[in-house]
């Protein structure tokens, strides 16, 4: 059967992956309300199309942090891609490079940063950092990603502690026994130790620490996991360059707003002083359009990338991205938008349902 939408890849991945791997990828925190609401929230938004416009030429290109991308769609940072496909993040990097989009590489990648860059040397990459308790390790990681040509530092802020993920607890999932996180070890350890040393995340990291990271790098710093106007205003105050509105795919604190529901509050708070992006719940081209209409500059995909990877490796991700880009192109044409710049909040009708 041909795969024509992202949910087709979801079904295919579920058939191919082990139960524990599927539960790890799909699982949410708590009862899974926020995970599911990320998708449902998009369906509560209705579109207001405009017609009798010349849409014979539709341009999906845009820029993020000054870099042109083929469409306002990118790859969110997710870890352990080798669970889905043997080449792991190397396949992901090649697919993102071919699509002309941004790939945010995770701290918890199962391939080394060097191997990822070698696999896709022309790729547009940002690096996602889970702040480690060892300051020197953070510094070394940042220096490595700068030297390897990563173009922004994405600091995840919503994991001072890992959320209550019931599926993983039931499955007694222990990634430490299955994976080798080479990037969280010193060069000596990477060469000498055959088993995983998985560093804990720093639960003490706070706003005042951002200046230390800013002193280390000239890369733009983007905060991932912001959901409120108060934190958005603090992000502006601390001179970061961007925000990813995200609830971690519903994997951290359950019962928080869906990402697209939190988006307007954050966009209003920053008043155009930094770029705002979104991840969580994007499954169709209409979802991309709705997020942009509400003020996001770009959306990022998490689980759908892993579905594509599990089904067909690099080519599966390429198909997922092409489907979404084609759907977005159609959504633009059918709402009268000839360029990304023409997408605005007038396209949204807020449903009373």
167 is catalytic: no
Nearest-10 Cα torsion for 94, 99, 100, 105: -50
Tell me what the mean pLDDT of segment 274-290 comes to: 98
Q: pLDDT at residue 180 above 70?
A: no
**pLDDT per position as a tens digit, 2-20:** 899 999 999 999 999 999 9
Is 18 annotated to bind a ligand? Reply is: no
Strands 275-279 and 299-301: parallel
Fold type of domain 6-350: TIM Barrel (3.20.20)
Q: For residue 58, which of 42, 67, 74, 71 has the smallest C-alpha distance?
A: 71
Residues in the chain: 353
Answer yes or no: is pLDDT of 141 > 50: yes
* Rounded distance between C-alpha atoms, residue 276 and residue 296, angstroms: 5
Beta-strand runs (E) in 130-215: 153-156
- Annotated ligand binding at 156? The verdict is yes
Would you state the structure tokens that stand for residue 186, as one six-digit string? 């010193």
pLDDT-based confidence at residue 249 (cuts at 50, 70, 90): very high
Concatenating the DSSP letter of every residue in 298-315 gives: -EEESHHHHHHHHHHTHH
For residue 105, the cross-strand partners are 127
Query: 107 vs 65, 112, 326, CA distance in Å?
Result: 21, 10, 31
Strands 45-47 and 153-156: unpaired
Say what the pTM is.
Answer: 0.94
The percent of residues above 70 in pLDDT, for the chain, comes to 92
Q: Is 303 annotated as a binding residue?
A: yes
Say if residue 100 carries a ligand binding annotation. no
C-alpha–C-alpha distance, residues 300 and 188, integer Å: 35
Structural domain boundaries in the chain: 6-350
β pairing state of 45-47 and 348-350? antiparallel
**CA nearest to 299, candidates 161, 102, 114, 154:** 102
The pLDDT mean for the chain works out to 92
- The verdict on whether residue 277 carries a ligand-binding annotation is no
Locus of tokens 């719940």: 281
- Determine whether the annotation assigns residue 106 to a binding site: yes
Tokens representing 295 are 């003020």
Tell whether residue 135 is among the known ligand binding residues: no
CA distance 292 to 340: 8
Smallest CA-to-CA distance from 129 within 159, 154, 162 is with 154
Res 63: pLDDT: 98
d(C-alpha 69, C-alpha 96), whole Å = 10
Q: Is 56 annotated as a binding residue?
A: no
Query: What pLDDT is recorded for position 178?
Result: 53
78 assigned to a ligand binding site: yes
- The pLDDT value given to residue 190: 47
Produce one character per residue of 305-334: b if its CB has 16 or more CB atoms within 10 Å, e if not: bbbbbbbbbbebbbbbbebbbebbbebbbb
151-177: pLDDT as tens digits:
999 999 999 998 888 888 888 766 554
Would strands 62-64 and 67-69 be described as parallel, antiparallel, or unpaired?
Answer: antiparallel
Single out the catalytic residue among 195, 248, 315, 329: 248
Cα diameter, the chain: 66
Compute the distance between CA of residue 212 and CA of residue 137 in angstroms, rounded to an integer.
Answer: 14
pLDDT score at 351? 61
Q: What is the pLDDT of residues 74-88, one digit of tens each?
A: 999 999 999 999 999
Q: Is 283 annotated as a binding residue?
A: yes
* Average pLDDT value for residue range 267-281: 98
């Amino acid at each position: 059967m041909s795969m024509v939408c992202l949910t087709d890849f979801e079904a295919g991945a579920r058939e191919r992956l082990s139960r524990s791997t599927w539960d790890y990828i799909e699982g949410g925190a708590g009862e899974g309300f926020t995970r599911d609401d990320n998708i449902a929230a998009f369906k509560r938004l209705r579109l207001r199309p405009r017609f009798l416009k010349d849409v014979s030429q539709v341009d999906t290109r845009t820029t993020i942090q000054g870099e042109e991308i083929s469409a306002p769609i990118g790859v969110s940072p997710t870890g352990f891609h080798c669970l889905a496909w043997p080449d792991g993040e190397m396949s992901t990097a090649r697919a993102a490079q071919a699509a002309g989009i941004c790939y945010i590489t995770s701290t918890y990648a199962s391939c080394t940063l060097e191997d990822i860059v070698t696999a896709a040397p022309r790729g547009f990459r940002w690096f996602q950092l889970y702040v480690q308790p060892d300051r020197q390790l953070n510094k070394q990681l940042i220096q490595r990603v700068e030297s390897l040509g990563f173009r922004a530092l994405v600091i995840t802020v919503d994991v001072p502690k890992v959320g209550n993920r019931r599926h993983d607890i039931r499955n007694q999932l222990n990634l430490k026994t299955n994976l080798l996180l080479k990037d969280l070890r010193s060069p000596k350890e990477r060469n000498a130790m055959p088993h995983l040393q998985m560093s804990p995340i720093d639960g003490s990291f706070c706003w005042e620490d951002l200046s230390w990271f800013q002193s280390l790098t000239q890369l733009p710093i983007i905060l991932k996991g912001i959901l409120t106007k108060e934190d958005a205003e603090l992000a502006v105050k601390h001179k970061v360059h961007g925000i990813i509105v995200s609830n971690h795919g519903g994997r951290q604190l359950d019962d928080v707003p869906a990402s697209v529901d939190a988006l307007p509050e954050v966009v209003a708070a920053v008043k155009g002083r930094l770029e705002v992006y979104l991840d969580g719940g994007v499954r169709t081209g209409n979802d991309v359009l709705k997020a942009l209409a509400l003020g996001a500059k770009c959306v990022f995909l998490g689980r759908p990338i892993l579905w594509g990877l599990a089904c067909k490796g690099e080519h599966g991700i390429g198909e997922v991205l092409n489907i979404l880009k084609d759907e977005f192109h159609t959504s633009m044409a059918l709402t009268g938008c000839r360029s990304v710049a023409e997408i605005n909040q007038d396209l949204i009708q807020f449903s009373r349902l």
